[in-house]
């Protein structure tokens, strides 16, 4: 057991470290491993503005490349002093480690989880005319039709290994179906193909699909998250619609480099989770159909490990690989 003297010394060192971080006037670099303009980037910039009173200046730096791996690796290689953090995502910390033949970092060993920030519900949407022609009104109808007609239905995605592709693979495995996957060069072309009737259904981002759902051009059958969306609460979850355990979403959260001191981690966690609880930021996120999801560092660490384990099997089923 440590002596009282050792405990006092450890406490003094921790306090000194926290004071040094607080006194350091250098700005915090928040790396966004994707191009400007998307929901992740927008929320990162809104958070940077909200935490400036508690953390000082936070500068958002977009460093896209290699599916997010480039920006994540910058943070992993930075000094663990609290002045470089990254907005990691399901791709950088759960999908890419199984998708890429070579990774520049370990998603668990090389990072300190700070907090989950948000989850973006995905939704299974059909071309409305196709749904009417096939008399499909619910997810159960879709599953029943696919079982009666193996290989006759198809779905589009933004490419092999994309979130939409992996959701489709998980759907096929969960329901015991055979459905043809048609990859496109991005989510936007995949959505255009769905609207044009070239494919029967897609797993799309709820924010991207919402306008066409409301206009009646797309028929939404279920959200893919374990809980209903607060934006469209009328849509059932895939679990409620008959697929036990089906839970897949786009998420993003904050990480520091490995070895980030506990006091620094907790200080960053408090600043960002407090910001996520403000009415202003909640309203901003609602316009993007993004669900706030603040956690403790421990909860986030457990979540990342579970997501990494889940996507190992999903990526394997997909057969997707990037050399």
Q: What is the DSSP string of 50-85?
A: HTHHHH--EEEEE---GGGHHHHHHHHTS-SSSSEE
- Bridge partners (DSSP) of residue 261 are none
Residue indicated by tokens 């700005």: 27
pLDDT digits 0-9 by tens, 122-134:
999 999 999 999 9
* CA separation, residue 232 to residues 31, 69, 123, 205, 300 (Å): 31, 32, 10, 13, 26
Q: What is the pLDDT of residues 179-220, one digit of tens each?
A: 999 999 888 899 999 999 999 999 998 888 999 999 999 999
Max Cα-Cα span within the chain: 77
* 37 neighbors 23 (Cβ within 8 angstroms): no
Cβ(253)–Cβ(91) below 8 Å: no
Alpha-helical runs (H) found in the chain: 4-23, 39-50, 52-55, 69-76, 90, 96-99, 128-133, 139-148, 163-175, 187-195, 206-215, 262-276, 279-287, 297-318
pLDDT in tens, 21-50: 555 679 999 999 999 988 899 999 999 999
In this predicted structure, the answer to whether residue 167 has a pLDDT above a threshold of 70 is yes
> What pTM, to 2 d.p., does this model score?
0.85
Which of the given ranges, 166-175, 221-230, 239-248, 260-269, has the highest pLDDT on average?
A: 260-269
- Whole-angstrom Cα distance, residue 241 to residue 246? 10
- 209-253: per-residue pLDDT in tens? 999 999 999 999 999 988 998 888 999 999 999 899 899 888 999
CA torsion angle 234 122 60 34 (round to 10): -160
């Amino acid at each position: 057991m440590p002596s009282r003297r050792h405990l006092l010394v450890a406490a003094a060192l921790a306090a000194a470290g926290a004071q040094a971080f607080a006194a350091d006037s250098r700005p915090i670099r928040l790396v966004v491993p994707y191009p400007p303009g998307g929901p992740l980037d927008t929320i990162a910039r809104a958070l940077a503005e909200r935490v400036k009173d508690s953390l000082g200046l936070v500068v958002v730096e977009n460093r896209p490349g290699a599916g997010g791996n480039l920006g994540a690796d910058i943070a992993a290689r930075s000094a663990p002093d609290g002045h470089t953090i990254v907005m990691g995502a399901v791709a950088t910390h759960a999908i890419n480690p199984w998708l890429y033949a070579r990774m520049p970092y370990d998603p668990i060993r090389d990072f300190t989880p700070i907090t989950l920030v948000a989850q973006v519900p995905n939704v299974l949407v059909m071309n409305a005319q196709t749904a009417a022609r096939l008399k499909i009104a619910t997810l159960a109808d879709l599953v029943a039709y696919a079982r009666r007609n193996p290989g006759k239905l198809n779905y589009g995605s933004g490419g092999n290994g994309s979130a939409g592709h992996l959701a489709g693979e998980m759907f096929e495995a969960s329901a015991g179906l055979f459905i043809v996957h048609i990859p496109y060069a991005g989510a936007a072309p995949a959505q255009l193909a769905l609207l044009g009737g070239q494919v029967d259904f897609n797993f799309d981002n709820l924010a991207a699909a919402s306008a066409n759902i409301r206009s009646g051009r797309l028929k939404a059958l279920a959200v893919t998250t374990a809980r209903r969306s607060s934006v469209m609460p009328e849509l059932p979850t895939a679990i409620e619609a008959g697929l036990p355990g089906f839970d897949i979403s786009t998420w993003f959260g904050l990480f520091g480099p490995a070895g980030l001191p506990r006091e620094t981690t907790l200080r960053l966690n408090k600043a960002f989770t407090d910001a996520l609880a403000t009415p202003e930021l909640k309203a901003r996120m609602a316009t993007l159909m993004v669900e706030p999801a603040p956690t403790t560092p421990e909860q986030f660490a457990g979540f990342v490990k579970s997501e990494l384990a889940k996507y190992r099997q999903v990526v394997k089923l997909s057969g997707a690989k990037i050399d």
